[in-house]
Amino acid sequence: MKTTTVNPGNKKVQLEDVALALGLSKSTVSRAISGKGRISTETRERVNECIREMNYRPNMIAKSLSESRTYNVGVVIPMDSNDAEAPFFQTCLTGIARECAVRNYDAIIIGTEKDDLSQLKRVVENRKVDGVIITRPLSDNSMETLLCENGMPFVVIGRSMLNGAITVDSNHKDGCRELTSYLLISNQPEKIGLIMGNMDHTVNKSRYEGFESAFATVGAKPAIDMVYTGIESPLQFSKAVSALLKQEPRCIICGDDMICMKLLAELNNLLTAIPEDIRVASFYDSVHLDNYIPSVTSLIFDAGKLGAVSASELIEMLDGNSGKNVMLDFQLLIRKSTM
């Protein structure tokens, strides 16, 4: 039998209002909503239909107290990242926030720096969140170790060096191998250069492994004087580019979009034509490269989907389900900068 209900004046509906409208006890309605306890399918359907019609929203404070949950998910954002990295973290955070909202959770930002995890430690020890998402893992596992020691569920976006950690990552290794292999078809191995950033970031480790494996498939190794890693400061970048250009590379691969933008600007200042004089490619594409002419060959990874899937996996874990590792695909865009 279908029950028709109304909510006069659009007042905030309480659990007892739903129970009264259906002629059921509050405990029966509560069990039907939570899915716990013995409730017939017919009763559960009646309750669900009624709460939709009456626009009932559970009291999250009472719910969190009764279930010992905060319904908050902590999102670790590196405070030592530069403004140029903002598009990735913003897109990723948007994906997390949307997925959390669908599941009645809130995303709480936790700022950290490489040598300062005090905010993360404070949030975790005070149990202000139910679980944590790490957006940029480091090779020392410091964040994962802290969370494990405090019994805090977590998901890592990217590659974790901690055995058993649940990760949601993009397939950087295969993507970078495919891009490098494409360039090896038309360039001599010893004429391909590489400039990469901080190798403490596990994503750069994966990208470099893909770069190396492409050379291995053709029985070659990257030339030592053509590879520059750990490049972070302007001075390091300037020295790396100067040394690399002395080797007369035919192609230069950049570890990410920001290094690529700096390289393109430097080559432009030197009146170096792309791709006629030097071909340029990037292991990561972003809005920063969208308007460059000629368009830049690069790899596309979906940051928004990374965030959404990581939030979904974490909340599944919080609901008592087993977490699983997820590897998302990539897209290689061959553009004019390497043609």
| Domain-embedded: residue 1 | no
Q: Is residue 50 domain-shared with residue 116, that is, in the same domain?
A: no
User: Is the residue at 13 inside a domain?
Assistant: yes
Report which DSSP code applies to 10: G
Tell me phi and psi for residue 329, to 5 degrees: -85, 180
CATH of the domain at 251: 3.40.50.2300
Residues 143 and 237 in one domain: no
- In three-state secondary structure terms, 334 is coil
H-type helices in 199-334, by residue range? 202-217, 234-246, 257-269, 303-318
Domain shared by 297 and 307, yes or no = no
Tell me, yes or no, whether 250 and 218 share the same domain.
Answer: yes
Residue 216 counted as domain residue: yes
Distance CA 149, CA 141 (A): 12
236 and 294 in a common domain: yes
- Same domain? 258 vs 296: yes
Among 58, 76, 99, the domain-final residue is 58
Q: CA 3 → CA 21, 26, 47, 52, 167, distances in Å?
A: 8, 17, 9, 12, 45
The reply to whether 42 falls in a domain is yes
3-state helix vs strand vs coil in the chain, percent to 5: 50, 15, 35
d(CA 288, CA 290): 6
* Paired tokens of 165: 């950690």
Considering the domain architecture, whether residues 141 and 99 belong to the same structural domain is answered as yes
- Domain containing 24 — which CATH number? 1.10.260.40
Return the residue matching tokens 């596309």.
Answer: 300
Task: Report if residue 3 sits inside a domain.
Answer: no
CA distance 177 to 213: 6
Q: Which of 40, 38, 29, 35 is nearest to 5 (CA)?
A: 29
**2 found inside a domain:** no
Domain shared by 152 and 177, yes or no:
no
131 and 251 share a domain?
A: no
| Number of independent structural domains in the chain | 3
Say if residue 267 is in the same domain as residue 295: yes
Residue 244 lies in a domain: yes
Whole-angstrom CA distances from 150 to 113, 139, 206, 320, 323 are 19, 20, 28, 18, 18
Do 195 and 286 belong together in one domain? yes
Residue 241 lies in a domain: yes
289 and 315, same domain (yes or no):
no
State the residue range of the domain holding 40.
Answer: 8-58
pLDDT by position in tens, the chain (length 339): 444 444 444 567 787 888 888 888 887 887 777 666 677 888 888 888 888 888 877 665 455 444 568 899 999 998 876 655 677 888 999 999 999 999 889 999 999 887 789 999 999 999 999 999 999 888 888 999 999 999 999 999 999 989 889 999 999 999 999 999 999 998 899 999 999 999 989 999 999 999 999 999 999 999 999 999 999 899 999 999 999 999 999 999 999 999 999 999 999 999 999 999 999 999 999 888 888 999 999 999 999 999 999 999 999 999 888 889 999 999 999 999 998
